[in-house]
Amino acid sequence: MPRALVTGAAGFLGSHLCDKLLGLGYEVVGMDNFVTGDARNIEHLKENAAFSFFQHDVTQFIHLPGDLDEIYHFASPASPIDYLQIPIQTMKVGSLGTHNCLGLALAKGARFLIASTSECYGDPLVHPQPEDYWGNVNPVGPRGCYDEAKRFAEAITMAYHRHHGLKTRIMRIFNTYGPRMRLDDGRVLPAFIGQALRDEELTVFGDGSQTRSFCFVDDLLEGAYRLMQSDEPFPTNIGNPTEMTILEFAQRVQDALGVERAIAFRDLPVDDPKVRQPDITKAKKLLGWEPQVELAEGLEKTIPFFRGRVSETVH
């Protein structure tokens, strides 16, 4: 039975990754300090003998007895409002946390995968974004704490690969959604679904012409798993290439819920990327991977979770 460590295990992606690995027959060790996570995301794993959990801040040295085959380093605030509130912890988890996880991987002879991000491309001047584009990041803007932490994480990962021969993988994740995102995490999907369910206006930032594309969590994690099993040390984009404006996305959310709400336009946050779309040519060729879940289907799978969360806040 392979044994994997998942950091950020109580978060949105980390908790689903634990479920996926357990389903594949792994023994899974989850680690999290709950800074942006939620214990409810792993509550259902409490009685699972193949799962163990350590509450630990990965920016502190990690002691972990026993063998380890794979480390998935997913710990990091991921939503703009989270990392703007805790910029120093965000920089520490991307830098010190990644260093600790790489050191652990080296000590255990484990493979290592970092959950990096499309934010490495910043406000991109090349569209769609292929992996060999170096990006257009403002290091001293408000998003710099996240973008530069992840760019450092990629750089130190490559240094461990080149210097120590560690088997490392870099996954550049584009906007991903699904159940277990925090209703109040400020990301566009929980924001719009929450507002629409509460009969409020949908807050569109700027004029809503900025673009994103949305990957369902199951697709993303299949990409993560295949990338870990590959031999590819250089960054690989994993995301859904179906691009739309944020205004179109607001409409898609209303269509999925069968409601019509007013749009309230708000200021565009500083350095908010104007376009974003993954070029997934590499993942298709290397991993035989591409997304399977269309937005309408993914929304259908996601909305019941948010209905539950909204009704908890109302009662």
Under rule CB under 6 A, residue 278 binds ligand NAD: no
Asked if 204 touches ligand UDP (CB under 6 A), the answer is: yes
Strand ordering across the sheet containing 3-7:
51-55, 27-32, 3-7, 70-73, 111-117, 168-173, 236-238
152 binds, among ligand NAD, ligand UDP, none (CB under 5 to 8 A by kind): none
Residue 191 makes contact with ligand UDP by CB under 6 A = yes
26 counts as binding ligand NAD under rule CB under 6 A: no
Neighbours of 84 (CB within 10 A): 17
The C-alpha atoms of residue 162 and residue 150 are separated, in whole angstroms, by 18
Choose among ligand NAD, ligand UDP, none what residue 33 binds, the Cβ cut-off being 5 to 8 Å by kind.
ligand NAD
Rounded-to-integer distance, Cα 142 and Cα 120, Å: 14
Is residue 156 within 8 A of residue 233, CB to CB? The reply is no
Do the Cβ atoms of 189 and 214 come closer than 8 Å?
yes
74 binds ligand NAD (CB under 6 A): yes
Q: How far is the CB of 135 from ligand UDP (least distance, A)?
A: 14
224: nearest Cα among 18, 43, 64: 18
Residue 146 annotated as catalytic: yes
Structure-block tokens of residue 95: 């830098």
Q: Which of 28, 58, 202, 250 binds ligand NAD (CB under 6 A)?
A: 58
DSSP-derived secondary structure letter, 263:
E
The answer to whether residue 247 forms part of the interface with ligand UDP (CB under 6 A) is no
Closer to ligand NAD by CB, 15 or 195: give it.
15
How many amino acids of this chain bind ligand UDP (CB under 6 A)?
15
Find the catalytic residue in 146, 160, 177, 225: 146
Q: Considering only 46-54, 89-97, 202-210, 295-303, which stretch makes contact with ligand UDP by CB under 6 A?
A: 202-210
**In this complex, which beta carbon is closest to ligand NAD, that of residue 156 or of residue 173?**
173
Q: Which of 173, 9, 149 is nearest to 89 (CA)?
A: 149
Residue 148 interacts with ligand NAD (CB under 6 A)?
A: no
What is the DSSP track for 35-68?
Answer: SS--GGGTGGGTT-TTEEEEE--TTS-----S--
Among ligand NAD, ligand UDP, none, what binds residue 93 when CB lies within 5 to 8 Å by partner kind?
ligand NAD
Q: What is the separation, in whole angstroms, between the first and last Cα of the chain?
A: 44
Asked whether position 277 contacts ligand UDP by CB under 6 A, the answer is: no
Nearer CB in complex with ligand NAD: 58/261: 58
Q: Residue 164 CB, nearest distance to ligand NAD (Å)?
A: 22
DSSP string covering 282-294, please?
HHHHHH-------
Q: Judged by CB under 6 A, does residue 124 bind ligand UDP?
A: no
Determine, following the binding rule CB under 6 A, whether residue 8 of this chain makes contact with ligand NAD. yes
Q: Which residues pair with 167 in a beta bridge?
A: none
* Token pair recorded at residue 224: 């993560």
User: Site residues (CB under 6 A) for ligand NAD?
Assistant: 7-8, 10-14, 32-37, 57-59, 74-78, 93, 97, 115, 117, 173, 175-176
Active-site positions?
146
- Interacting residues toward ligand UDP by CB under 6 A: 79-80, 175, 186-188, 191, 203-205, 210, 212, 246, 269, 272
